[in-house]
Amino acid sequence: MSHPGHASTQMSSAAPPSVSSPAYTEFHPRWYRPQVSTYWWLGKWAYVKFILRELSSVAVAWTVAFMLLQVRALIRGPEAYARFEHRVSSPWMIALNGIAFAFLLLHSITWFNLAPKAMAVRVGGKRLPAVLISGPQYLAWVVISAIVFAIIISRG
Amino acid sequence: MAQTIQLRVSRYSPERDTQPYFQTYEVPVKEEWVILDALNYIKDQIDGTLTFRWSCRMGICGSCGYMVNNEPKLGCATFLTQYAPGPVTIEPLRNFPVVRDLVIEITDFLEKLKKVKPWLIHDNGDAAGEYLQTPDQLEEFRQYSMCINCLLCYAACPISGLDPVFVGPAALALAHRYNKDSRDEGSAERMAVLSHPEGIWGCTFVGECTKVCPKHVDPAGAIQQYKLAAAIDGIKQFLMPWGQRQEKQ
């Protein structure tokens, strides 16, 4: 070929796979149906984040179970609560709750960020900016956390 | 800047191949060229057997969607220079059967699209006449009416790949477009079709459909709004079943 600016074609492999195709008919060709890999979610950071967000529900369930166990120990009296405290102060329990806390943060942040997508609030014909919907939720989160923290510190 | 760039293009011939393979072409890099120009160069100058869809070359027809370096892109709206020095890998859109080379089979999508009734539904049937609409009412759905059915969102949506019965982002966004239209009265009809696991509840809000949309339609947002509307509708039906009956009468 003599066209300037282009080189030549080359095969990435030695030759394309070539087999006879008995399933093929002229007006109903054989389609190639790609299979989704089990590890599809590792292909892109956005998909990994999505899987982590979905997994965060396990951390939410764990936190609920943990709080129920704490309440049960509290109801059973000081000795039972002391045993509970001793158990949860072990390094592996602290590590587990640390991981659960990180997942809970992820869960909360992604939930607050979702809210403006789901709520298309229009005022005066214009859609409210996302920050005006997620902003108050973040504010409430910070204020409530600060109050809880203050109570813990003042009683501590 | 390099004078040429390598394009690794997925090839598949149903008559000959059991699976796709890559063929590498070397094409000139020109500042004004988009991916589609490079493919047309290959078709015209190097290899006439390369098969791909395209039509308008201006982001309107939605025909030239391909995976470019593993991202769904419109061939006519993606500049070649941004991938220099290359190579650039071009594959058919993910989550669809491949007919040949870069051409995908879209009948399944068209069936799903029909299911959501993407047209104006109203009681007075075919009556002719004007339907007045204010600019504010238009603004309610204008964003969702920009969809060109390019199917990039289906290629970005992992649920569409994992769950073949899922109606999918574009069709759901278009259903939402008609629900939000002040001239339409078909939202209850559409809700009956879409408020189930194959419809809006199949979406787990990965959000990639919105990121790849070349027309800024925001299908993920549309689906979440649809979910909210369905949830409110469900609560209303539970709390005030008599109210629903009155509305129907």
pLDDT in tens, B201-225: 999 999 999 999 999 999 999 999 8
**What's the pLDDT at A25?**
56
Could you say which of A12, A114, A122 has the minimum Cβ distance to residue B8?
Answer: A12
- Domain count for chain A: 1
- Looking at the structure, tell me whether residues B130 and B220 fall in a common domain: yes
CB contact under 8 A, B225 and A119: yes
Q: Cβ of B208 and A47 within 8 Å?
A: yes
- Do B194 and B235 lie in one domain? The reply is yes
* B99 in the same domain as B9: yes
Give pLDDT, residue A14: 40
Which helix (H) or strand (E) covers residue B100, if one does? strand B98-100
* Over residues B38-57, mean pLDDT: 96
CB B226 within 8 A of CB B171: no
The CATH number given to whatever domain includes residue B209 is 1.10.1060.10
Sole residue written with tokens 């403006």 = A116
pLDDT of residue A114: 86
Same domain, B89 and B181: no
pLDDT tens readout for residues A81-94: 999 999 999 999 99
First to last CA, chain B: 70
Query: Min CA distance, A53 vs chain B (Å)?
Result: 9
Instruction: For chain A, list residues with pLDDT below 50.
Output: 1-20, 22
Chain B closest-CA separation from residue A68 CA (Å) = 29
Whether A40 is covered by a domain: the verdict is: no
Residue A36 CB neighbours (<10 A)? 13
Does the distance separating the beta carbons of B139 and A30 come in below 8 Å? no
User: Would you say residue A28 lies in a domain?
Assistant: no
Q: Are residues B116 and B168 in the same domain?
A: yes
Asked if pLDDT for residue B188 goes beyond 90, the answer is: no
B52 and B152: one domain? no
Phi, psi angle pair for A64, to nearest 5°:
-65, -45
For residue A94, tell me if it sits in a domain.
Answer: yes
**Least CB–CB distance from A114: residue in B14, B46, B205:** B205
Residue B247 in this model has a pLDDT that exceeds 50 = no
pLDDT for res B248: 41
Do B111 and B99 lie in one domain? The reply is no
Interface of A with B in 29-68 (CB under 8 A): 29-34, 36, 40-41, 43-44, 46-47, 50, 54
Instruction: Tell me which residue range forms the domain holding B125.
Output: 107-248
Residue B16 with chain A: CB contacts under 8 Å: 16, 18-19, 21
Residue with the larger pLDDT of the pair A25 and B228:
B228
To the nearest whole angstrom, how far is the Cα of B48 from the nearest Cα of chain A?
A: 12
Position A1 in a domain: no
Distances (CA, A) of B85 to A7, A9, B30, B45, B80: 15, 18, 12, 21, 10
Residue that terminates a domain, selected from B71, B104, B137: B104
B chain contacts of residue A2, beta-carbon cutoff 8 Å: none
The pLDDT of residue A56 is: 95
CA distance A141 to B138: 36
The shortest CB-CB distance from B204 to any of A3, A30, A54 is to A54
Q: Which residue of B has its CA nearest to A21?
A: B15
Listed residues B77, B104, B131: the one ending a domain: B104
How many angstroms away from the CA of B17 is the closest CA of chain A?
Answer: 5
ipTM over 0.90: no
Q: Domain of B97: which CATH number?
A: 3.10.20.30
Tell me, yes or no, whether A112 lies in a domain.
yes
Indicate the number of domains in chain B.
2
Please identify among residues 108-127 of chain B the ones whose CB lies closer than 8 Å to any CB of chain A. none
The 10 Å Cβ neighbour count of residue B105 is 16
pLDDT tier, B125 (very low <50, low <70, confident <90, very high otherwise): low
B137 and B230 assigned to the same domain: yes
Nearest CB to B139; choose among A13, A31, A125: A125
**Lookup result for tokens 């090839």:** B11
The pLDDT, as a whole number, for residue A2 is: 37
Q: Can you give the pLDDT at residue A57?
A: 94
Residues 164-203 of B with CB under 8 A from A: none
Q: Are residues B117 and B198 in the same domain?
A: yes
A82 is a domain residue: yes
Q: How many helices (H) and strands (E) does chain B have?
A: 10, 7
What is the C-alpha to C-alpha distance for residues B16 and A18, in angstroms, rounded to an integer?
5
Does the pLDDT value for residue B77 go beyond 80?
yes
Residues B49, B128, single domain; the answer is: no
User: Which of B65, B89, B104 is the last residue before a domain boundary?
Assistant: B104
Using an 8 Å CB-CB cutoff, list chain B residues near A14. Answer: none
Q: Which of residues 64-103 of A touch B (CB under 8 A)?
A: none
B45 & B34 share domain: yes
CATH, residue A76:
1.20.1300.10
pLDDT exceeding 70 applies to what percent of chain B? 94
CB within 8 A of B88, min separation 6: which ones?
A: B5, B6, B7, B8, B35, B38, B68, B69, B80
- B24 or B18, greater pLDDT: B24
Question: What does pTM read for this prediction?
Answer: 0.84
The answer to whether residues B54 and B28 belong to one domain is yes
Is beta strand B4-11 parallel, antiparallel or unpaired with respect to B71-74?
Answer: unpaired
Q: Is residue A124 part of a domain?
A: yes
* pLDDT, mean of residues B58-85: 95
Q: Residue B242 above 80 pLDDT?
A: no
- The range of the structural domain enclosing residue A144 comes to 59-155
